């Protein structure tokens, strides 16, 4: 059945990406180090005031995820380019969206590992109190990461065709990520506070809507982006 | 394979200028040319990795642009660079290919065996020599069981045994009624395998000089314009 073959391709690409990244330890270590370093530097800059640290926690964590994510997205296509494997990958029969879906899944798994590290370090360094609505907060984190990974993977594929891809990716990605980051940080901040006005719910709906729109748009556009 | 008035421009530079060529079933055609003459570009266009700027090309009567997905299922393209994942083992590289092609893993072991890499199947490709990587690239090609071969410098980095292996694969495809277009720097390793040879100069098909063609043992030398 066609969908089974497609799903097999998606899993194969994701498994290959995660395996190569974890084996080439430099990739995971550099991305994780960047995220943790950003948190430490911001923590040091804010000083010992516990309330100031708590207020800045959400922004700091998302900033760390954003920059380490960009590094990870660039690497996901760099692996293909370095070994000249992009052309064989494009030469396999089957729909091209499976390549995007596989890369997306691989980046999602990789970034989930990153998020676990960055959030754990962020909670400790910024003295964050776990709120009663922590499952909702995790949901916001998941929606934000999905938005980040969808756009990051798509623009990394677009930038991979350029010689200046390391420079091009942030230029393309950052403006598009503004709505995702604003919604994710505002919702997270509301959930970490009292959220008396129930601001978080509206931002969460907006974040989910952005994710759905970006997911559909990027799947539709990928084939045209990756074609020579 | 039928190429008609094929042209490709990168920026302001035309790499191919109206290439017309036909490769029939049961035929292997050599494509000679200097570095940068456009040999690889022709193969990449036929492999659906590049779109032509002008002209058309068909494989098994399928248009390479309009029916790209179907063409990819028929074509086996061996690029100049092996395009393998260094941090995966030889077996993992081929299992990845099998997953992408919807094949069982038994075919992976057969391919490894045929290219003589069964004993290092569990080793990472990073430690392989250029010749071993080339053999693994050939194993991936065999896995596809292609009807059409597009081979870009297929003999580079291969020892005598590897050259024989490449020629046996080429012979199998041609004998089974398939076709092959083989980009080469020199004809010697492909002796006896090519039905004819054409040359690419300044993006156009040119006659092959008799001295150059003398390197070929069998088959008539011809040029298609």
Contact status, residue B208 vs residue B196, Cβ threshold 8 Å: no
What is the tens place of the pLDDT at every residue in A104-142? Answer: 999 999 999 999 999 999 999 988 888 888 899 999 999
* Nearest-by-CA chain A residue for B47: A91
The number of angstroms, rounded, from the C-alpha of B20 to the middle of its chain's C-alpha atoms is: 18
Domains of chain B by start residue, with CATH: 2-85+149-213 (3.40.50.300)
Closest to A187 measured CA to CA, from A206, A212, A211 = A206
Give the distance from residue B118's alpha carbon to the nearest chain A alpha carbon, in angstroms.
21
Segments of chain A assigned E as strands:
none
ipTM score: 0.86
What is the tens place of the pLDDT at every residue in B75-121? Answer: 999 998 889 999 999 999 999 999 999 999 999 999 999 999 999 99
Of the residues A20, A93, A95, A98, the best mutation for testing chain B's interface (the one with the most B CB atoms within 10 Å of its CB) is: A93
pLDDT of the residue at A1: 65
Given pLDDT bands bounded at 50, 70 and 90, which one contains residue A180? Answer: very high
Q: What is the DSSP letter of B119?
A: G
Contact status, residue A118 vs residue A39, Cβ threshold 8 Å: yes
Q: CB-CB: which of A19, A83, A92 is closest to B100? A: A92
Closest to A129 measured CA to CA, from A192, A191, A188, A185 = A192
Q: Does A228 touch chain B (CB under 8 A)?
A: yes
Residue with tokens 């050599």: B30
Q: Count of alpha carbons within 13 Å of B222, Cβ hemisphere only? A: 13
Give the distance from residue A132's alpha carbon to the nearest chain B alpha carbon, in angstroms.
44
Residue with tokens 């055609």: B29
What is the pTM assigned to this prediction?
Answer: 0.88
Residue with tokens 């081979």: B151
Total Cβ atoms within 10 A of residue B136: 24
Q: Does B75 touch chain A (CB under 8 A)?
A: yes
**What percent of chain A is modeled with pLDDT above 90?**
56
Residue with tokens 């000249």: A84
DSSP result, B36-70: TSSHHHHHHHHTTSS--SEEEEEETTEETTTTHHH
């Amino acid at each position: 059945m066609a969908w089974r073959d497609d799903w097999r391709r998606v899993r194969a690409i994701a498994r290959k990406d995660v395996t190569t990244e974890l084996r080439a330890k430099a990739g995971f270590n550099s991305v994780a180090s960047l995220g943790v370093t950003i948190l430490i530097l911001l923590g040091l800059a804010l000083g010992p005031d516990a309330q100031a640290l708590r207020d800045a926690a959400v922004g700091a964590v998302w900033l760390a995820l954003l920059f380490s994510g960009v590094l990870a997205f660039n690497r996901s296509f760099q692996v293909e380019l370095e070994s000249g494997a992009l052309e064989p990958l494009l030469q396999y029969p089957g729909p091209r969206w499976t390549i995007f879906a596989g890369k997306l899944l691989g980046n999602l798994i990789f970034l989930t590992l990153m998020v676990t590290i960055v959030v754990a370090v962020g909670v400790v360094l910024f003295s964050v109190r776990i709120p009663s609505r922590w499952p909702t907060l995790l949901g916001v984190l998941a929606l934000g990461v999905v938005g980040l990974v969808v756009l990051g993977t798509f623009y990394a594929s677009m930038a991979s065709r350029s010689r200046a891809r390391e420079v091009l990716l942030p230029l393309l990605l950052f403006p598009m990520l503004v709505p995702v980051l604003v919604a994710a940080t505002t919702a997270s901040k509301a959930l970490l506070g009292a959220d008396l006005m129930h601001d978080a719910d509206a931002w969460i709906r907006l974040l989910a809507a952005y994710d759905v729109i970006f997911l559909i748009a990027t799947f539709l556009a990928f084939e045209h982006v990756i074609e020579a | 394979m039928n190429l008609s008035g094929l042209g490709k421009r990168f920026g302001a530079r035309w790499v191919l200028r109206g290439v017309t060529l036909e490769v029939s079933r049961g035929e292997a055609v050599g494509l000679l040319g200097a570095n940068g003459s456009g040999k690889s570009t022709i193969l990449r266009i036929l492999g659906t990795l590049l779109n032509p700027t002008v002209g058309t090309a068909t494989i098994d009567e399928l248009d390479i642009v309009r029916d790209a997905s179907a063409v990819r299922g028929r074509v086996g393209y061996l690029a100049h660079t092996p395009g393998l994942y260094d941090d995966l083992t030889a077996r993992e590289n081929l299992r990845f290919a099998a997953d992408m092609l919807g094949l069982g893993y038994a075919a992976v072991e057969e391919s490894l065996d045929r290219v003589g890499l069964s004993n290092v199947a569990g080793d990472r490709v990073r430690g392989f020599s250029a010749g071993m990587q080339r053999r693994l690239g050939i194993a991936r090609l065999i896995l596809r069981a292609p009807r059409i071969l597009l081979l870009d410098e297929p003999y580079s980095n291969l020892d005598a045994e590897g050259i024989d292996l490449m020629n046996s694969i080429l012979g199998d495809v041609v004998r089974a009624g398939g076709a092959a277009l083989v980009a080469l720097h020199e004809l010697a390793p492909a002796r006896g395998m090519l039905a004819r040879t054409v040359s690419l100069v300044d993006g156009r098909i040119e006659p092959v000089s008799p001295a150059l063609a003398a390197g070929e043992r069998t088959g008539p030398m011809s040029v298609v314009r």
